[in-house]
Amino acid sequence: MSAATPVPSPSAAQLTHPDGRVELADGVSLSDPDFANADLRPVPVERRHWTTYNFLALWVGMAHNIPSWTLASGLVAIGMDWKQAVFTIALANVIVLIPMLLTGHAGTKYGIPFPVFARASFGLRGANLPALVRAAVACAWFGIQSWIGGEGIFLLAGKLFGHGWQTASAVGGFPWTQWLSFLLFWVLEIIVIHRGMETLRRFENWAAPFVIVGALALLAWITVKAGGFGPLLHQPSKLGWGGSFWKVFFPSLMGMIGFWSTLSLNIPDFTRFGGSQRSQIRGQALGLPTTMTLFALLSVLVTSGSQAVYHTPIWDPIALAAKMNSVAGTLFALFTVLIATLSVNIAANVVSPAYDLANLLPKLITFRTGALITGVVGIAIMPWKLISNPHIYIFTWLGVVGGLLGTVAGILIADYWIVRRTRLELDQLYTPGGSYWYASGWNWRALVAFVVGGLLAVGGSYGGPFPSGGMISFLKPLADYGWAVGLACALVLYTGLTRLAPAGQMAGGPTPAVR
Rounded to whole angstroms, the Cα distance separating 381 from 288 reads 28
State how beta strands 170-171 and 14-16 pair: unpaired
Rounded to whole angstroms, the Cα distance separating 110 from 272 reads 7
pLDDT band at 297 (very low <50, low <70, confident <90, very high): confident
> Is it the case that residue 504 has pLDDT exceeding 60?
no
Helix 277-310 / helix 52-63 crossing angle, nearest 10 deg? 30
Q: What is the pLDDT of residues 466-495, one digit of tens each?
A: 788 888 989 988 887 888 899 999 999 999
Please, what is the Cα angle at 51 between 282 and 414, to 5 degrees? 50
Q: Which residues pair with 14 in a beta bridge?
A: 24
Q: What is the structure's pLDDT at 510?
A: 38
Other residues' Cβ atoms within 10 Å of the Cβ of residue 133: 19
> Is it the case that residue 96 has pLDDT exceeding 50?
yes
Q: What is the pLDDT of residues 120-171, one digit of tens each?
A: 999 999 999 999 888 888 888 888 888 888 888 887 788 778 778 888 888 8
Other residues' Cβ atoms within 10 Å of the Cβ of residue 326: 11
Percent of the chain with pLDDT over 90: 31
pLDDT band at 397 (very low <50, low <70, confident <90, very high): low
Residue 272 three-state SS: coil
Identify which of 277, 357, 372 has the alpha carbon closest to the alpha carbon of residue 45.
277
Identify which of 144, 95, 381 has the alpha carbon closest to the alpha carbon of residue 261.
95
pLDDT band at 45 (very low <50, low <70, confident <90, very high): very high
Judge whether 65 and 37 are in contact, CB under 8 Å: no
Q: CA dihedral defined by 372, 332, 290, 483, rounded to 10 degrees?
A: -40
Q: What is the pLDDT of residues 311-335, one digit of tens each?
A: 877 877 777 877 777 778 777 877 8
Q: What is the structure's pLDDT at 387?
A: 64
Judge whether 424 and 370 are in contact, CB under 8 Å: no
Q: pTM to 2 decimals?
A: 0.82
Q: What is the structure's pLDDT at 9?
A: 57
Residue 5 three-state SS: coil
Rounded to whole angstroms, the Cα distance separating 384 from 377 reads 14
